[in-house]
Amino acid sequence: MKKKIIASAALIPTAGTAAAGLMFFHKSCDRINGCWGIEKEDRTPEEDKYLIYRPKFELMRERIRVLPYEEVTITSFDGLKLYGRYYHNPQAKRAVLCAHGYRSTAIGDFYASFEHLYQEASLLLIDERSCGKSEGKYITFGALEKRDVCQWAFWLDEKEEKKLPIYLYGVSMGATTVLLTSVMLLPENVKGILADCGFTSAAEILNEVFIDSFKVKPRIMLRIMEIYTRSLGHFRLNEADARRALLRAKLPVRFMHGTDDDFVNVRHTQRNFEACASDKDVLWVEGAPHACAAVEGGERYLAYIDKFFAEREA
């Protein structure tokens, strides 16, 4: 009994660790104004690797802005109003749902593939919960976003009267999110998943951030942070584990990842690929930093996606 009491007491966080856990929860999960990634204007010197992509981003952003779209909304399972941009293509052969990354935007993450996809597809660019125009206080690393994506998939299926093939396409956290949906109830017309530079799980990516950026003991901090994800964010970190979902995946998956990604290391995609039980393939894009495989890969990247569409629609 004495040993049990001592062991239980060891799990009770001290005031200092509790405060640190709360700080890391807010730093990691809070909604913020603006966004990260290619759209960020005030890039720091160590982020200069992204500046070479900015001219193409600016060009494509202006092209996308002039295209007609419908602003659409759904209400999430927990009562949040979620926004998306629906770009209807009357000659569409398919529909693609685009899920952006952590504290990013759909235009920022899909600018390099948008124009190519739009030639033959209707596109739904969603604002993830707690990002853009969508409501929400906390980002949940895919734990709750996966349920939002499922709702959006059913919305898109109903919107497309031709009952077109649907694909779920995610970048970074959006990739992890669409991978998590691979074992969830989806419309029959969902034919496959495209996952660009997704991480394996919320716990693993946070573990790496804690080690690289904050020099703290990750296991202890994750356990403390879990208290706040459950009590404040109403989610568990283990709800965002792509590998666990992929072990039971039925939908075909195509993975993509840039080899110079220093935010989500390529081992995340390699581990997701190895765990995936369904039809799968992977494209490595040499020299591409995080979320830049499409722009760095160019025609090779787009051809890889097109081949997947052709295989699924044959």
Rg of the chain taking only CA atoms, in angstroms: 20
pLDDT at 5 over 50: no
Question: What is 37-201+240-313's CATH topology?
Answer: Rossmann fold (3.40.50)
Q: Provide the pLDDT confidence category of residue 1 given band limits of 50, 70 and 90.
A: very low
pLDDT at 71 over 80: yes
Q: Name the strand (E) or helix (H) holding 151.
A: helix 145-159
Residues forming a β-bridge with 196: 171, 256
Instruction: Find the range with the poorest average confidence among 26-35, 210-219, 242-251.
Output: 210-219
Q: Hey, what are 281's tokens?
A: 């393939």
pLDDT given at position 242: 98
Instruction: Report which of residues 240 and 24 the model is more confident about.
Output: 240
**18-to-69, 156, 221 alpha-carbon distances in Å:** 46, 42, 9
Q: What is the mean pLDDT of residues 216-235?
A: 86
- Which residue carries 């992204």 as its tokens? 50
pLDDT at 190 over 90: yes
Instruction: Report which of residues 212 and 47 the model is more confident about.
Output: 212
pLDDT given at position 11: 43
Q: For a pLDDT cut of 70, what percent of the chain falls above it?
A: 89
Listed residue (56, 39, 150, 48) closest to 104, CA to CA: 39
CA–CA distance, 46 with 80 (Å, rounded to integer):
36
pLDDT tens digits along 261-274: 999 999 999 999 99
